[in-house]
Amino acid sequence: MASQAAKRVLVVAGMYFQRIGNGSGTGASTARLFAKNGYSVALIARGGDFVNNLATEINSSGGQAAPFTVPSYTHDGITSAWDAIHQRFPKPEYAIRAALFNVGYGVWKPFLDITPQEVQESLNTNVAAAFSFSRGAILAFKDNDIEEPNGKRGALIFTGATASTRGNVLTSAFAAAKFGTRALSQSLAKEFNKQNIHVAHLSRLIVQVKPRPPDQQESLTLRSDWSPIASQL
Ligand SMILES: NC(=O)c1ccc[n+]([C@@H]2O[C@H](COP(=O)([O-])OP(=O)(O)OC[C@H]3O[C@@H](n4cnc5c(N)ncnc54)[C@H](OP(=O)(O)O)[C@@H]3O)[C@@H](O)[C@H]2O)c1
């Protein structure tokens, strides 16, 4: 069982903000913020230079990061990534304390233009991949001891969107899947709360990480910042 003295690890899946492509997306920003706050960060992505460059950037600014590439977000791909992360960040030196599922596949189209392939891809990426990632996170957390003062073994967080709670005219395939991700998070929060595992589903607005003034210490105990949100689940 991982002890209090172990170095804390954050695992993030989904790194690259496709519409901007400059590293300002939620996954990369969260990895940078946690690294600055002393976490080692494991970066799961489908490859490309971006994730390698992000790991290099974090390492060269005093943090600790490692990329884990997957060919796609299939169950086997995600499970292999978790295996590799355990090898790279083994117990008792490290403890995986936080995991962010930031993968998302958006479809914004009128209902009659949406193809069966897009429906499948949306469900695979937003729902099935979230199940696989969650399995890896829950298994890792179950093996941790309870961390004080937050009283948790670990925190699993999902990046939501407006479409997670509200369908709209162009979002049938996207919202149906994003509702599914939120339903998963709500179920996990209820199932694993009694095992001291924290599960939160956050809106984009809440996840967006902004630097605080230098005189204010960034508090990343997770639970103190995010438990009020989880309690709304
Ligand atoms: N951008 C927004 O305005 C906005 C607003 C509200 C909520 N969100 C949510 O915030 C999260 C992050 O979004 P983002 O805008 O920062 O980035 P994004 O471009 O939506 O993608 C997030 C990640 O999802 C993976 N991904 C994208 N398309 C995929 C596909 N077709 N198949 C498999 N994986 C795919 C990518 O992983 P790789 O790193 O492996 O390429 C990417 O890093 C998502 O859950 C999104 O729904 C975004």
Query: Given this model, what pLDDT does residue 43 score?
Result: 97
pLDDT in tens, 134-178: 999 999 999 999 998 889 999 999 999 999 999 999 999 999 999
- Ligand 1 atom with least separation from CA of 19: 19
Distance (angstroms) between ligand 1 centre and the Cα of 126 equals: 9
- For residue 216 and ligand 1, the question of a CB distance below 6 A is answered with no
Instruction: Tell the residue nearest (CA) to atom 46 of ligand 1.
Output: 104
- For residue 102 and ligand 1, the question of a CB distance below 6 A is answered with yes
CA 192 to the chain's CA centroid: 17
181/76 Cα distance (integer angstroms): 19
CATH architecture for the domain at 7-230: 3-Layer(aba) Sandwich (3.40)
Mutate to test the pocket of ligand 1, among 12, 18, 132, 174 (most ligand atoms within 8 A of CB): 18
Distance (angstroms) between ligand 1 centre and the Cα of 145 equals: 32
- Please state the domain extents for the chain: 7-230
Distance (angstroms) between ligand 1 centre and the Cα of 15 equals: 8
198/148 Cα distance (integer angstroms): 14
Q: Which helix (H) or strand (E) holds 158?
A: strand 154-159
Query: Given this model, what pLDDT does residue 4 score?
Result: 67
- For residue 175 and ligand 1, the question of a CB distance below 6 A is answered with no
Over pLDDT 70: what percentage of the chain?
A: 82
Q: 3-state SS string over 75-103?
A: HHHHHHHHHHHHHHCCCCCEEEEEEEECC
Distance (angstroms) between ligand 1 centre and the Cα of 26 equals: 8
pLDDT in tens, 8-33: 999 999 987 666 556 668 899 899 99
Distance (angstroms) between ligand 1 centre and the Cα of 3 equals: 33
The tokens of 232 are what?
């709304």
- Ligand 1 atom with least separation from CA of 18: 19
Query: Given this model, what pLDDT does residue 222 score?
Result: 35
Instruction: Tell the residue nearest (CA) to atom 16 of ligand 1.
Output: 25
- For residue 103 and ligand 1, the question of a CB distance below 6 A is answered with yes
Distance (angstroms) between ligand 1 centre and the Cα of 102 equals: 6
The tokens of 42 are what?
């494991």
The tokens of 35 are what?
């690294």
- Which of 19, 39, 17 lies closest to 28, judged by CA? 17
User: Can you tell me the mean pLDDT for 114-124?
Assistant: 98
Cβ–Cβ contacts within 10 Å for residue 74, how many? 14
